[in-house]
Each structure stands twice: as structure tokens, then as C-alpha cells.
A and B are shown apart, each in its own frame.
Chain A
């Protein structure tokens, strides 16, 4: 039996990823993650209002390995969504639609979101 040469509809697993499609879905996922980060900030402030012993416990949790991992993840997610959002605003104003420009701006968003996350933690933690 000869192999079926007909094209199949694109399954997500075999679909060739482009920067544009990757960033598009990542923008959305990070937006949802950011909603959770806002909810975490909400609890942060609630716990702060509950007094010292509760807050000291909360500080232990967020300064643990997992706590830091989550906070750094949230920082990256928020950095990425904000920078990617700026890219979307440029599109809304009609700029940057050429494929080459869109690919370059996508790479800039990815790299600068990582740089921004590192900068936040170095500056915020008083390491530089």
C-alpha cells in the first residue's frame, strides 16, 4: 500500500511555530497568569493588614525557593505581557506589520522581557 500523500489539517503538535504565533498565544497566557499575580498581590496586602506574625510567615513563604520561583515567574510574565502589549499598541496604530519587522520586534520583546526581569530582581533586591 502506498503512503497517503494527502495533506492533513495542521495539528498543534506538528504545526510549525513562528515567532508571531508563539508570541500571540504567550501574550494571552501571560495575561491570565498576570491576573493570578494581581490576586497574589491582593492577598499580600490582606496578610500585611493581618499583623506581624502572619506577615512574617508570609515573608518566609515568598522567600523560599518555590516562593521566589513563582515571584520571578510572575515578574517575567508581567514584563513580557507589558512589552508585548506595547508591540500590540504599535500594531493598533498601524506600525510594524511587515513580516521582517514583526519578527524582529518579537525577538526584541522576548529578550527585553528577560533583561527586564533580571533588572527588576537585581535592583529591587538591592543587589546592584
Chain B
């Protein structure tokens, strides 16, 4: 991915994430006062499903690009940096995919 495209995608993902952040935090803080039945009911809501999946894919994409920048600044050994970048890439794919599977097969 060239640097300009990366820069633009980083900003675009940030703009998508901002409203999702308000929604997920408000949802989770109110969920923390509710019992299992109410939480499970929330989990079955299709809007919650779609927004959560989008949050995880875009959120980890945003995190991956950011981690690349951070590693670039602070890790000076090229081998270590490459390994760190690969780990960031794996993390940014595996976690959203698990969430997708979790919601697809519904509990």
C-alpha cells in the first residue's frame, strides 16, 4: 500500500470509527448494569450485529496502520520491525474474523 493511500484510508477509517465509538461505549456502559438475559437479547439485535462487525473490521484496520507508524518510529531493528508488523497484521485479521464467525453462528 503506498503512503498516500495509507494516509487517506487511515483518516477515512477514523471518520467511520468516531460515531461507532459513541454508540459502542454507550451500549456497553448500559449493558454493564443489565443481566445476562437482557445482554443476550441485545446481542441478537441485527443493528447491534452489523455495527459491531463493522467496528471490529474498521477498528483493527485503523489500529494496524497506526501500529505500523508507531513501529516505524520506535523499532530500529529491521527484523524486529518486520515481525511486529506481521503480528499486527495477523491480529487485525484474526480478531474481526472471530467476531464475524461469532455473530454468524449466533452464540
User: Which A residues are within 8 Å of any B CB, using their own CB?
Assistant: 28, 31-32, 34-35, 38-39, 41-42, 44-46, 48-49, 51-52, 55-56, 59, 62-63, 71, 75, 78, 82, 85-86, 89, 92, 120-121, 123-126
Q: Residue on A with the closest CB to B29?
A: A124
Tell me the dominant secondary structure on chain A's binding face.
Answer: helix
Count the A-B residue pairs with Cβ separation under 8 angstroms: how many? Answer: 78
Q: Which of A62, A120, A121 has the most CB of B within 10 A?
A: A120
Contact with A along B51-69 (1 / 0, CB 8 A): 0100010011001001100
- Chain B contributes a number of interface residues (CB within 8 A of A) equal to 32
User: Which B residues are within 8 Å of any A CB, using their own CB?
Assistant: 11, 14-15, 17-18, 21, 24-26, 28-30, 32-33, 35-36, 39-40, 43, 52, 56, 59-60, 63, 66-67, 70, 95, 98-99, 102, 107
